[in-house]
Amino acid sequence: MTADTTQTKEKFTITTSTTTSSTENITTQVKALDIKDSQKSAHNHHKHHHHLLHKYNTNGEEASDDDEDDESCSPRSPVTLGPSPSVAKEHGLSRLIKNNRAWSKAIKERQPDFFEKCSQGQQPKVFWIGCSDSRVPENELLQLAPGEVFTHRNIANVVVSTDLNCLSVLQYAVEVLKVEHVVVCGHYGCGGVAAALGDHSYGLIDHWLGNIKEVKAQHQDNLDQIQDKEEKCRALVEINARNSVLTVAKSPIMKAAWERGQKVEIVGLVYDIQTGLLGELGYHVKNAEDLKAQLSVDSSALFSARAAS
């Protein structure tokens, strides 16, 4: 029998040996998941091959037996039954996966049924629209557990009426999850806002920054009166968040929710990275009347109120 014939046959027949290599056909690897009890001993010989993220140390050597005996490891990939060249060396995620195991263990020790309850559904009261900035983790700064805040994040927490991604998440939050608070949170030191203040071109992201530039143009005269560059950026952070609050409030999603009597408010917040504190911007919209009142405030009045505060 030729080598080619043998290889073809192995695509359709699982033998008692489940030894796999990086060159095996993917079909054979997937079928290996259906190994019967009669092959259990051979399977056990390779049961730890799915420790792909921590099986090897930084030198490419096998990890200690302590790691091998960790039964809380991630499920084995259906198409990667053993080590492959692409994962032969430990990488940055190894530490993160270990952190995850430690976190999961600590949660279970405090509340054994926590993850079981999480798996049954979510009932968050807060929908958070924030910046993608890694320094503004909403669960962490709000001290909320998984399942307590529904989230949408993008560069500079921008909400525009043409963003179907954001609006779809908003609709799900309001109509399905029945959240009570929609939070739009900007943050001082926002790179997206700072970029929008300048004239430098950044390529593709310029299309997104254009939304912030439009907000800047609406308040250009009042922004120009602020000489300090950092303070000007802080002001634009605030009015950019306000603009997103108003865009959410003007959406058909919120209009329909208020018309049917659903109690859901929109709140504008700002996060100060230097202090770790959240601040209220004074933009609260609970109904169509509140929206009308907010829309009646012109730029000069807005900046005067900001200076007074």
* Pick from 241, 149, 229, 146: nearest CA to 194: 229
Q: How far apart are CA 163 and CA 159, in angstroms?
A: 7
| Other Cβ atoms within 10 Å of 131 Cβ, number | 25
Q: In the chain, what are the domains?
A: 3-110 (no CATH), 122-308 (3.40.1050.10)
Angle among Cα 121, 127, 129 to the nearest 5 degrees reads: 135
131 is an annotated ligand-binding site residue: yes
Active-site annotation holds for 135: yes
CA-to-CA distance for 105 and 113, rounded, in angstroms?
12
| 8 Å CB contact between 279 and 269 | yes
Tens of each residue's pLDDT in the chain, 309 residues: 544 544 444 443 433 343 444 434 434 443 443 433 444 444 443 333 333 333 333 344 444 444 444 444 444 444 444 444 454 456 678 888 999 999 999 999 999 999 999 999 999 999 999 999 999 999 999 999 999 999 999 999 999 999 999 999 999 999 999 999 999 999 999 999 999 999 899 999 999 999 999 999 999 999 999 999 999 999 999 999 999 999 999 999 999 999 999 999 999 999 999 999 999 999 999 999 999 999 999 999 999 999 888
Does 200 carry a binding-site annotation? no
pLDDT of residue 93: 85
SS3 letters for the chain? CCHHHHHHHHCCCCCCCCCCCCCCCHHHHHHHHHCCHHHHHHHHCCCCCCCCCCCECCCCCECCHHHHCCCCCCCCCCCCCCCCHHHCCCCCHHHHHHHHHHHHHHHHHHCCCHHHHHCCCCCCCEEEEEECCCCCCHHHHHCCCCCCEEEEEEHHHCCCCCCHHHHHHHHHHHHHCCCCEEEEEEECCCHHHHHHHCCCCCCCHHHHHHHHHHHHHHCHHHHHCCCCHHHHHHHHHHHHHHHHHHHHHHCHHHHHHHHCCCCCEEEEEEEECCCCEEEEEEEEECCHHHHHHHHCCCHHHHHHHHHHC
Any known ligand binding at 290? no
Place of tokens 């557990």: 145
Catalytic residue among 73, 166, 190, 233: 190
Q: Looking at 48, 54, 76, 133, which residue is catalytic? A: 133
pLDDT for position 21: 42
Residue type, 171: Q
User: What is the per-residue pLDDT across 81-95, written as a single tens digit (0 to 9) for each?
Assistant: 444 445 445 667 888
133 is in an annotated binding site: yes
Q: Identify whether 190 is a catalytic site residue.
A: yes
Query: What per-residue confidence (pLDDT) applies to 219?
Result: 97
101 as an active site residue: the answer is no
Sign of CA dihedral 140, 142, 147, 149: negative
Long-range contacts made by residues 97-106, C-beta under 8 angstroms, separation at least 24? 97/53, 97/54, 98/54, 101/70, 101/72, 104/72, 105/72
Contacts of 177 (CB under 8 A, 6+ apart): 122, 123, 124, 127, 150
Q: Which of 45, 91, 95, 135 is catalytic?
A: 135
First to last CA, the chain: 87
Known active-site residue 91: no
CA distance 219 to 299: 6
Which of 187, 219, 234, 242 is flagged as catalytic?
A: 187
CA distances from residue 1 to 4, 6, 9, 16 in whole angstroms, order as listed: 8, 7, 11, 20
